[in-house]
Structures are given as C-alpha cells and as structure tokens.
C-alpha cells in the first residue's frame, strides 16, 4: 500500500509550482490622476479628485487621510428635483477591474485646511484606505485657483455646491 503515496508526492511537487504560476500576482487596486483644486479662501474647503482602478478583486474605499490638511471627507454631489446638494459618503465600491472617478460635479474629497508647505510645494500626499486593508499612498497635484484655467480643463463648479 505504499506505492500510491510514493506516486502522489512527486505529482504534488510538480503541481505546486504550476498552481503558483496560474495564480500569478493578483493585479492590485490603484489610484491615479489625483489633484486638488485649492479653494481661493482658507475658510472654505478645497476639493480633491482622482480615479480609482479596481484590481483582480473588488474592494471598497473606506476613507482618505493626509498629513497635509486638517480634515478630509468623501462627498457626493447629488441633483434632486432641480436642487444640487452634497452628502457625505462612508464607503465607495471599487469593482474588480472597474473604474471609479471622483470628478467635478460628482464624488469628491472635501479638504479642510490645506497645509501651507504643501501649497508652496504644489503637491500633497494622501493615504487611501481600502476595505481589504491596503493603504495606497498617492501624490496629488495642487492646482491653485488662478492657475487652474491654464493647467486644467477648467471643470465648471457645480452650482450651489460651494465651488466644487
Ligand atoms: Cu463637498
């Protein structure tokens, strides 16, 4: 009765590397095209935008934090009965191989108190917190109100939404 076991062992040794190759490295979720539209006034929030790309496995964006501002919230602009308002969102699905854009007129980051050093450097780093435990560090370009028209496709501010 030893023969079958002796046969299985070499087969398993052959299968193990094949299984690893078949799985490969799963494509991770990632964030790009991050930028901040700096508010013209320190008393009013700036807005942040980016595109989230789903990896092989879907996950959720649970929050965004930064060392370069006082507070970051995820918001969504919604139009209802001709009125444009915004509401806080706690979590955003990032579907497998899908794409979620935070863009003017839709979902956005609301950023309070952007740090002066970040402003003078023209960029700030955000940490995106995913439901799968990943933390994605992403640099966002800061566009100042005056320079926005020259460097950006000048997205129109959503009406009634505090300039973002
Ligand atoms: Cu907002």
**What are the tens digits of pLDDT across the range 56-92?**
999 999 999 999 999 999 999 998 888 999 999 999 9
Domains of the chain with CATH codes: 30-151 (2.60.40.1890)
Q: How far is the CA of 67 from the centre of ligand 1 (A)?
A: 20
The per-residue pLDDT for 121 is: 97
Q: pLDDT value at position 158?
A: 46
**154 CA distance to ligand 1 centroid (A)?**
18
Bridge partners, residue 47, by sequence: 37, 110
Q: 24 CA to middle of ligand 1, Å?
A: 40
Q: Give the pLDDT score at 149.
A: 47
Low-confidence ranges of the chain (pLDDT < 50): 1, 19, 21, 147-154, 156-160
pLDDT at position 117: 96
3-state DSSP assignment of residue 100: strand
| 64 burial via Cβ count (<10 Å: 0-12, 13-18, 19+) | buried
Q: What is the pLDDT of residue 154?
A: 46
Cα 119 to Cα 143: distance, rounded to the nearest angstrom: 9
If you measure from the C-alpha of residue 164 to the centroid of ligand 1, how many angstroms do you get, rounded to a whole number?
Answer: 7
- Cβ of 126: how many Cβ atoms within 10 Å? 24
CB 140 within 8 A of CB 34: yes
Distance 50 CA to ligand 1 centre (A): 14
pLDDT value of position 151: 47
pLDDT at 145: 86
For residue 84, the CA-to-ligand 1 centroid distance in Å is 11
């Amino acid at each position: 009765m030893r023969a079958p076991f002796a046969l299985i062992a070499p087969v398993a040794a052959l299968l193990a590397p094949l299984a690893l190759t078949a799985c490969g490295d799963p494509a991770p979720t990632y964030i790009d095209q991050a930028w901040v539209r700096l508010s013209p006034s320190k008393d009013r929030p700036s807005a942040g935008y980016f595109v989230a790309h789903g990896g092989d496995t879907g996950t959720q964006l649970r929050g965004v934090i930064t060392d370069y501002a006082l507070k970051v919230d995820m918001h969504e602009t919604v139009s209802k009965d001709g009125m444009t308002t915004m509401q806080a969102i706690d979590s955003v699905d990032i579907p497998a191989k899908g794409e979620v854009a935070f863009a003017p007129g839709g979902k956005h980051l609301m950023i309070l108190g952007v740090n002066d050093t970040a402003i003078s450097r023209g960029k700030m780093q955000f940490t995106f917190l995913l439901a799968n435990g990943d933390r994605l560090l992403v640099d966002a370009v800061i566009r100042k109100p005056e320079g926005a028209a020259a460097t950006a496709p000048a997205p129109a501010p959503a009406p009634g939404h505090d300039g973002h």
